[in-house]
Amino acid sequence: MSVLIKGGTVVTATGTTTADVLVEGETVSALLAPGTAGEADTVIDATGKYVLPGGIDVHTHLEMPFGGTFSADDFETGTRAAAWGGTTSVIDFAVQPKGESLLATLDNWHAKADGKTAIDYGFHMIVSDVNEQTLKEMDACVDAGVNSFKMFMAYPGVFYATDGEILQAMHKAADNGGMIMMHAENGIAIDQLVVRALGRGETDPVHHGLTRPAELEGEATSRAITLAKVTGAPLYIVHLSSTPALDAVTAARDTGQNVFAETCPQYLFLSLDDLARPDFEGAKYVCSPPLRPIEHQAALWRGLRGNDLSIVSTDHCPFCFVGQKELGRGDFSKIPNGMPGIEHRMDLMYQGVLAGHLPLTRFVEVTSTTPARMFGLYPRKGTVAPGSDADIVVYDPSASQTLSVQTHHMNVDYSAYEGMEITGKVSTVLSRGRVIIDGGEYHGSAGHGRFLERELCQYLS
């Protein structure tokens, strides 16, 4: 089967060019001068549109267990929604329960995803139980193409790791080439602020934000960076949300340390004001780290432009308002932490281009190319070039749309961006050469997606 995408402007991290893209089988076979290609089985007219490498969302929580319930998108609905939004690969987090082995955890996550996904997928491993067996199994995970390990300085009693446990895992990663990913918030201090707030009768969702101040993200980020420096491990800060944390990352990068960070659209487009919405509506915006006062946004955009923030992921972890978010009525600390977003990352980041925050090439870099290189998928993923997987998005930069729960494809009963009018829209999506979105319809299927065994991070020497 061959597909010819003609008349479009091909955008990669390195530049834009007018070219026709020929896809044969699952990969791109050539970029050709416009009009010079021969016949193809399928021809897609991309005149006036951008031809982009498919988005790569490196931070998702599909079917994630949380307090007796699960995040509302599973691997089928979540990856289908991702495809609608122009994302063609996800890296999801397998979650080690305390007392279980990493390899058993990995088997479980394979069982959840196998035969379900619309697009290709990989895994990171959440390490919540550091012991001799776990440390040994980290090597086996690396061999199995799962070479990034997330740890938590937040959530005492659940995922929380002590500095000593973090140090042990970092030593292991420094040895085996793995990457330590860190949720950097000082959870021990935060828990005390939560106790004080609840004791004062402060139970509304906004107090989720007020009890997790940015300084405690900055402190934890600095501490993680110091531990990484001592052990020689590379470090990737997940969902960075605030100026103090960004300052710590910037300072470390200025010294040449292998420290990287991502942010998420919710920190660029939403704020503490949303968390303060009345009548418990703020619960829709509860995630950790929390949405910040609006002043932080400008710094995050600058960080993204200058590469101290390298990637935009979603931290997609949807919980329905009815029945799930409502568990925290009367006690904000019981609101499930997480927001939906897997479908809107590309569209929202394109708004950053229109607003002048990012050049078009940088938009592609932070949503696709750097994710691919950071997590060992490049050049198979993350670019449009001969030999690369034909994961391609034809994007209409002049279409307009209104984000809404009425029209989104995520399995969740609200939109965090309800009513937001935006410019730009995905028109066609290919996953490994197969057209899965076109003409406003989904043509994909569960089980098309394949597991991605990843190489090591490509930014380390």
Binding site for Zn ion (CB under 5 A): 315
- Helix or strand run (H / E) with residue 272: helix 272-275
Q: What angle do CA 6, 425, 370 make, to 5 degrees?
A: 80
In whole angstroms, the minimum distance from the beta carbon of 324 to Zn ion comes to 16
Residue number, 59 or 373, with CB nearest to Zn ion? 59
Residue number, 64 or 249, with CB nearest to Zn ion? 64
In whole angstroms, the minimum distance from the beta carbon of 333 to Zn ion comes to 18
Instruction: Measure Cα distances from 431 to 117, 275, 345, 378 in Å.
Output: 11, 36, 17, 16
Query: Which residues are paired to 303 by β-bridges?
Result: none
Q: What angle do CA 458, 459, 461 make, to 5 degrees?
A: 90
CB proximity list for 62: less than 8 A, separation 6 or greater: 71, 73, 74, 75, 78, 79, 90, 92, 112, 113, 316
Residue number, 64 or 214, with CB nearest to Zn ion? 64
What number of CA atoms fall less than 13 Å from residue 35's CA on the CB side? 0
- Helix or strand run (H / E) with residue 260: strand 259-263
Residue number, 113 or 384, with CB nearest to Zn ion? 113
Read off the amino acid at residue 325.
K
Residue number, 285 or 395, with CB nearest to Zn ion? 285
In whole angstroms, the minimum distance from the beta carbon of 81 to Zn ion comes to 17
- Tell me how far apart the alpha carbons of residues 396 and 314 are, in angstroms, rounded to a whole number: 22
In whole angstroms, the minimum distance from the beta carbon of 264 to Zn ion comes to 9
**CB count, 10 Å around CB of 369?**
24
Residue number, 46 or 126, with CB nearest to Zn ion? 126
In whole angstroms, the minimum distance from the beta carbon of 371 to Zn ion comes to 15
Contact 342/90 with Cβ under 8 angstroms?
yes
Residue number, 5 or 237, with CB nearest to Zn ion? 237
Round to the nearest angstrom and report the end-to-end CA distance of the chain: 39
In whole angstroms, the minimum distance from the beta carbon of 269 to Zn ion comes to 18
In whole angstroms, the minimum distance from the beta carbon of 317 to Zn ion comes to 6
Residue number, 141 or 317, with CB nearest to Zn ion? 317
In whole angstroms, the minimum distance from the beta carbon of 285 to Zn ion comes to 15
Shortest CA distance to 353 belongs to which of 423, 412, 298, 270?
423
Shortest CA distance to 293 belongs to which of 243, 256, 233?
243
- Tell me how far apart the alpha carbons of residues 224 and 230 are, in angstroms, rounded to a whole number: 10
Q: What angle do CA 114, 29, 44 make, to 5 degrees?
A: 80
Residue number, 242 or 388, with CB nearest to Zn ion? 242
Residue number, 23 or 81, with CB nearest to Zn ion? 81
For the chain, how many residues are written? 461
Query: Which residues are paired to 22 by β-bridges?
Result: 4, 30
Read off the amino acid at residue 210.
L
Radius of gyration of the chain (CA): 21
Residue number, 221 or 428, with CB nearest to Zn ion? 221
In whole angstroms, the minimum distance from the beta carbon of 183 to Zn ion comes to 7
**CB count, 10 Å around CB of 321?**
15
- Tell me how far apart the alpha carbons of residues 407 and 401 are, in angstroms, rounded to a whole number: 10
235 burial (CB, 10 Å; 0-12 / 13-18 / 19+) is buried
In whole angstroms, the minimum distance from the beta carbon of 80 to Zn ion comes to 20
Closest residue to Zn ion, based on beta-carbon distance: 315
| Number of helices and strands in the chain (H, E) | 14, 21
In whole angstroms, the minimum distance from the beta carbon of 235 to Zn ion comes to 16
Residue number, 224 or 358, with CB nearest to Zn ion? 224
In whole angstroms, the minimum distance from the beta carbon of 121 to Zn ion comes to 16
